[in-house]
Amino acid sequence: MDMRGELKFFAGVAIGIGIGAATDNLGIGIGIGIAFGAALSQTKNEQKSTKSDSSEEDVVIDLNQMNRRKRKAKNDEEE
């Protein structure tokens, strides 16, 4: 775990302890804090592949087709 991940983890633990103190149940707060900390410290790996299956142009075409289908379905409902 890198320094930033550790910082996020301890920030999550601090949030959990704060919740525990506010609810007068420090044990549950620490448990929630560890869960928050673990979630916050997770980092996504960058995608290694530079080539995708569909190009940006394909995505735009697909969105246009979806919009046309939605308009057609809406018009069919109104009739």
Q: What is the pLDDT of residues 38-49, one digit of tens each?
A: 887 876 655 555
For residue 3 the two structure tokens come to 């320094």
Per-residue confidence (pLDDT) for residue 58, from 0 to 100: 65
Domain ranges of the chain: 3-43+54-78
Give the pLDDT band (50/70/90) at residue 17: confident
